[in-house]
Homo-oligomer: A and B are copies of this chain.
Amino acid sequence: MDGLDIDELVGRAREGQPRAVARLISLVEDESPHLRAVAAALNPLTGNARVLGLTGPPGVGKSTSTSMLVSAFREQDLRVGVLAIDPSSPFSGGALLGDRIRMHDHTTDPAVFIRSMATRGQLGGLAAATPQAVRVLDAAGCDVVLIETVGVGQSEVDIVALADTTVVLLAPGMGDGIQAAKAGILEVADLFVVNKADRDGADQTVRDLKHMISLGRRELGASWRQPIVRTVATAGEGVADLTAALDEHREWLASHGELAARRARRAEREIEAIAVAALRSRLGVGQDALARLAKRVAAGELDPYAAADQLTAGHDGP
């Protein structure tokens, strides 16, 4: 790491050199000692990329849909960055790349940068690292950054909710309607895609969604009406409808002052995630203290709130 010239690295990333982009993302992902210097160097160069989030339950065709969207943006001659959030497994020793194979159409295109980010069991870390990776791609000149998450949990939702526009994918015949609602992904959707729309049950899924949207509107009270787009991503069907809906949402964001508001909210979460991670690691400094307190709690000698008070007060004995 010695002699790392961050300005030079950022310069090469801006020229579109994939290795420089990859190196910068690694620096922010691994929380290197250079992290703060990298963040400071990137900052003035950011704010131009359109950030899209894509999520939905397993098996709905998220990677195929991402690939379809990348093709559509490439036809508009836009530079595209893709961040695929892959929870990792100790069984595979890292992110499983099966789904990524569908992205191989784009891997030789120098105007498309694809990066899998593994959670390594620490979504808290990803909550801090993902927005930094978005900043790298933004500073590197990507016109569009797509964040795709494979999970349906709240933490994955939090990550994808960093986007300017969040797309929730569903597919027919998986009981998704209610399961998606459970997973809390409906509330973050700016638009819905019913993929595999050529399958039986697509009409029912659309009806279920419309019903849920109508129930939700009372509470949401916003002027944006979540559209439902039908696609068959494997065949590229519906992609024009999808990009049109994305453009429409972008215009709505801009004309309602929502883009600035969302980006400010995103920055709030980003700052908070960094601050909490810093505070957490300060707590971790006293790992012996935490372990001693935990033993006393497990033994019933101390309740966990009293233990937490002692931990944050910086002493571990009575």
Can you list 8 A-B contacts with CB-CB less than 8 angstroms, sorted by A residue number? A35-B305, A47-B299, A87-B153, A89-B187, A91-B187, A123-B153, A275-B312, A278-B309
- The 8 Å CB contact of A87, one of B86, B154, B290, is B154
Q: Does A274 contact B (CB under 8 A)?
A: yes
Encoded as 1 (CB less than 8 Å from any B CB) or 0, chain A from 271 to 304 comes to: 1101110111001000000110111011110111
Copies of this protein, total: 2
How big is chain A's contact interface, by range?
35 or more
Q: Give 6 nearest A-B pairs by CB, closest first.
A: A153-B153, A274-B308, A267-B297, A267-B294, A43-B303, A268-B294
Report B-chain residues with C-beta under 8 Å of the C-beta of A4.
none
Chain B contacts for A86, CB-based, 8 A: 182
Query: Which residues from B are CB-within-8-Å of A131?
Result: 304
Taking a contact as CB atoms under 8 Å apart, the answer to whether B152 and A58 are in contact is yes
- Among A14-22, A75-83, A172-180, which stretch is in contact with chain B? A172-180
* A260 in contact (CB, < 8 A): yes
Q: Does A227 contact B (CB under 8 A)?
A: no
Task: Take A39-B303, A187-B90 as given contacts and tell me if A278 and B308 are in contact as well, using a CB distance cutoff of 8 Å.
Answer: yes
Q: Is B150 within 8 A of A151, CB to CB? A: no
Q: Is A110 an interface residue (CB 8 A)?
A: no
| Interface membership of A257, Cβ < 8 A | no
Stretch at the interface among A199-207, A213-221, A228-236: A213-221
Output the residue of A268, A280, A307, A308 with the most chain B CB within 10 A.
Answer: A308
Contacts of A300 in B (CB 8 A): 43-44, 46-47
Query: Which residues in window 66-123 of A have CB below 8 A to B?
Result: 86-93, 96, 98, 119, 121-123
Which residues of chain B have C-beta atoms less than 8 A from A123's C-beta?
153-155
How would you classify the secondary structure of chain A's contact residues: helix, strand, loop or mixed? helix
Q: Confirm or deny: A183 has a beta carbon within 8 angstroms of a beta carbon on chain B.
A: yes
Q: How far is the CB of A155 from chain B (nearest CB, A)?
A: 5
Task: Tell me if A276 and B279 are in contact (CB < 8 A).
Answer: yes
A222 to nearest B CB, angstroms?
A: 12
Chain B CB count within 10 A is highest, among A90, A175, A260, A309, for: A90
Measured CB to CB, the closest approach of chain B to A80, in angstroms, equals 22
Say whether A304 contacts B58, CB under 8 Å.
Answer: no
Tell me the complex Cα distance, A32–B283, Å: 25
Interface-centre pick from A46, A175, A272 (highest chain B CB count, 10 A): A272
